[in-house]
A and B are shown apart, each in its own frame.
Chain A
Amino acid sequence: MFKKGFLYLALASSCFCPIVQAADMSKVLHVNYEVAEVGFDPAKTNDLYSSGINENIFDTLVTYDYLARPVKLVPNVIEAMPELSADGRTYTFHLKKGIYFSDDPAFKGVKRELTAEDYVYSLKRLVDPVVHSPNGYLVSDKIVGLEELSHAPRGKFDYNTPIPGLKALDRYTLQITIKEPNSSFLYFLGMIHLAAVAREVMETYADNTMAHPVGTGPYVLKEWKPANKIVLEANPNFRHVELESVGSGKGLDAEIVKDLKGKTLPIAGRVEVSVIEEEQPRWLSFINQEQDIAFIPLNGARKILNVDPRNPGKVSLKPEYASKGIRIQPELLPEITYYFFNMKDPVIGGYTRERIALRRALAMSFDRDQAIRDIRQGRAVPMENIIPRNFVGNNPNLRASTPYDPALANALLDRFGYKIGTDGYRTQPNGEPLEVELAVTPTATDRQWSEAWQAAFDSVKVHLRIKVAKWNENYKASKEGSLQMHGNAWTADYPGADNFLQLLYGPNSGQTNDAFFKNAEYDRLFLESLKLPDSPERNAIYDRMNKIAASYTPWVFSDIRIRTYVSNAYVHGYKQHPILITSWRYMDVQK
């Protein structure tokens, strides 16, 4: 392999010879996004859609095994998984030699090899105030010395300042030291925001890094029409990579291994990504084979699928679709959805028994099964644990949600003195009027959720006011703590339980802890759990944390959606990964 790489280098740098390319340039993959991307600077973006593109242009140190479930980290640009020091704080990575960035004028015609310094630069860049990266929080309080660096006065941020936690020991050896042992730290390194960018490129295009992604990944950005179309082409400088994953060795996994055997990745020479926001046209264009893959629109589920009423995971396509050779992959999304109460709020928040009772009664009044049946069209399962299913640490026997019981909710409110007034609605125990505001967005789906909440509040005779605002307004208000109640969905960034449990961690209030929930025991358990590897001891802590959340009811646990991914008959090699956003490099189209 080394020899081949050497020859490759010699060929490419001579610039006269045609470039040998593994990918078949005549094969074009047609895929779509339902939401517009932002741009292609991995440090500056944190949305799913931009990251999906970045995933194909840039390389992280580690990545995920394509087929293995539960998900498993594997080396990406490194020779082997890193060595971890005895104190659990220092990781040492050995980069593979002969990995090159795609060509760009910023390199002035010279082939540019990926080195350990690139990762040092890229990780420091996440805390550079000029970059104002939304991803800085991932590393700034973890890697030794990075936080101090980030406090450099404006305009004085110097990338050449050495910091103890981030060192290039030699051209190919990277050493990262973190403050405390953290069982999820390697997962962070698998996030695309921590991928390597080249300093020359970032400096050359400093005022528009979003449009000039230059990486070492399988594809390069060929064309970009913001919010409309993104075209990727196979990177001629991409190292030789074949599918190494074997997965379960059965079914789809076995088929993919067989299909991809001996093939060099990426297989398709060109990927065309269209942004199609409306559900109906997106589905119709998939059916017309204008798109290779898609997922079944929520509102189409009953028309398209036969669902086993007792098991929403067990589905089959209706004959008219099955006969076209369309294939399906139903997957639980790596997420939880919940409604939070603002614990700082003078009416709905607080830790006294009467306030707990109010929140508990409201949670009891909400008919979640009906919402799943009618709004989610049955394509969801109830959320019972802060840690979603299929994630390490989820206890399938635990039910931390509040059971639906509006009669009990009424009795409970009576007991705590929330008396029914002359208008038929309850007042606060101190006689003041009681009204709760739910913030929603102006979408058809949110109107359905609003109607469901309206019915719930009516059943316990509490006034509900619904505030409709654009998503970003609600987002801002939730960070400022000025909402009373709002619905949230949290999608996993990495497969660690702490990614979800941190949503109620006190110090994260105003950042990810929108409920502003503070509980000393919960916070202590959270920090303790971070240091522990997967063990019964850690699972016991997780269960306890769930019970604390259940006790104070800062959230109404809602559901976890099931998404049914589909691919047309001529698509090979496609399997949806729960954490990786795209599977494009593995996909083949044989029309």
Chain B
Amino acid sequence: MQDMTMTNNSPAELTPPRSLWSLGWQRLKRDRVGFVSLWIVVAFLVVIALCWTRLLASNWGEEVAVPYAPPTWAKGEATAATNGATDANVLGGANGPIITLTPEEDPIGKDIEAARADAGKYQLKATVKADALFMGADVRGRSVVNKVLAGTSTSMLVGIFGALLSVLIGTCLGAFAGYFGRAVDDFLMWFYSVFTSVPDMLLLLAFAAVCGRGFLTLIMVLSFTSWTATFRLVRAEFMKHRSREYVQAADAIGASHLRRMFVHILPNISHLLLVQFSLLLVSLIKYEVILSFLGFGVSVRQVSWGSILGEVPAELMQGYWWQLLAVVIMMSLLVTAVSLLTDALRDALDPKVK
């Protein structure tokens, strides 16, 4: 619980927040890398919105090609043996007429015979499956393009909501600890040190084991284990700000504690929270991958980058590299863009840079 009292802090935090944001926007527009990144992130957000509204990739589960159909531009790659289904005769060898359960022996034999007449209306038409797709197909013959788009949407939503929740938890707890200090701070710091002393992975595994699989679980689990960094940051900021003149001025005009915390101080550190949010976004997306690799990812009806990467080690050994490639491209594009944008934001919103 050290307190770093720097003697040479600039009083720049006193700048009203509005001008900081507009100044930041001006600076961001001048930063070419940051600006391009911003557009890429926006493009990804559009993709999410389209997937969310089922306008895009809603049919990712359809089996449109043969298993492991290669990309059209790499057709030379070996296709899977599609006729691998085996005749049970081949090993051991049947040597007489095949015996099965007869309708007489079967307690529902008569019903099955009767149902057979009605089965016609459920007969599915055989569909022709493509033997190559733009980015290939997975084990069930689903299009990798659609799958990865759907996965992008899931992973980003997990990352965004997880990071939001995580920042929310961290900010609230950090604000209370930093603002009130004393017993509140002692208790929250105790809580914080307990959480940071237990290996993250252990908590992740334990929470994931309890909560089962699914989108909401992932968000909860990830935010429960990642709020600590934000907590420490916000606590330190609040400790610094609570004794500043503008807060004392607010006190003088009778603003309540909550008002001082969230109306007066919070906007002054909002730029830090934005940076924290984008850092968390990246790290949560990566955590999701590891959790999914260990089997605690999204449910069977959903797909995420993590669940796709979980299939990759097996595929790589068989020489099917296209899912890996597709995920790596999407993932590095988004994560790079978010990271560069974070940098640009950090620079643009840094009140010390004039």
Q: Which residues of A contact B (CB under 8 A)?
A: 278-280, 283, 297-303, 307, 309-314, 332, 353, 356-357, 360, 369-370, 372-375, 377-378, 380-382, 384, 389-390, 394-400, 405-408, 410-412, 414-416, 441-444, 446-448, 450-451, 454-455, 466-470, 473, 543, 547, 550-552
Contacts and interface: CB of A to CB of B under 8 A. Distances in A.
A441 B98 CA distance: 36
Contacts of A375: 139
B91 A373 contact: no
Nearest to A441: B295
A102 to B, nearest CB: 41
Contacts of B122: 406-408, 410-411
Contacts of B101: 400, 547, 550-551
Contacts, number: 188
16 contacts: A299-B315, A301-B318, A310-B87, A373-B84, A378-B81, A384-B88, A399-B88, A406-B124, A410-B119, A411-B115, A442-B294, A446-B295, A454-B300, A455-B140, A467-B212, A470-B209
B275 interface: no
Interface residues of B, number: 62
Contacts of A278: 313
Interface string B80-100: 111111111111111111111
A356 B84 contact: no
A407 B123 contact: yes
B178 to A, nearest CB: 39
Interface stretch (B104-112, B182-190, B254-262): B104-112
A406 B124 CA distance: 9
A408 B318 contact: no
A313 B95 contact: no
B92 A415 contact: no
Interface string B198-225: 0000000000010011000000000000
B140 A353 contact: no
A416 B107 CA distance: 14
A462 to B, nearest CB: 14
Given A381-B90, A394-B92, A443-B295, A356 B212 contact: no
Sorted from nearest, which 10 A-B pairs have the closest CB atoms?
A442-B295, A378-B84, A369-B85, A299-B314, A407-B122, A411-B115, A373-B84, A410-B122, A411-B118, A311-B90
A299 B118 contact: no
A470 to B, nearest CB: 6
Interface of B: 67, 78, 80-101, 105-108, 111-112, 114-124, 139-140, 209, 212-213, 294-296, 299-301, 307, 310-311, 313-319
A309 B317 contact: no
Given A280-B313, A353-B107, A415-B115, A300 B295 contact: no
B116 A408 contact: yes
Contact of A408 (B82, B112, B317): B112
Contact of B111 (A314, A381, A416, A550): A416
A302 B209 CA distance: 34
A280 B319 CA distance: 13
A551 B105 contact: yes
B24 to A, nearest CB: 43
Nearest to B210: A469
B190 to A, nearest CB: 31
Nearest to B310: A444
Given A389-B92, A447-B300, A300 B107 contact: no
B118 A280 contact: no
Contacts of B98: 397-399
A147 B149 CA distance: 62
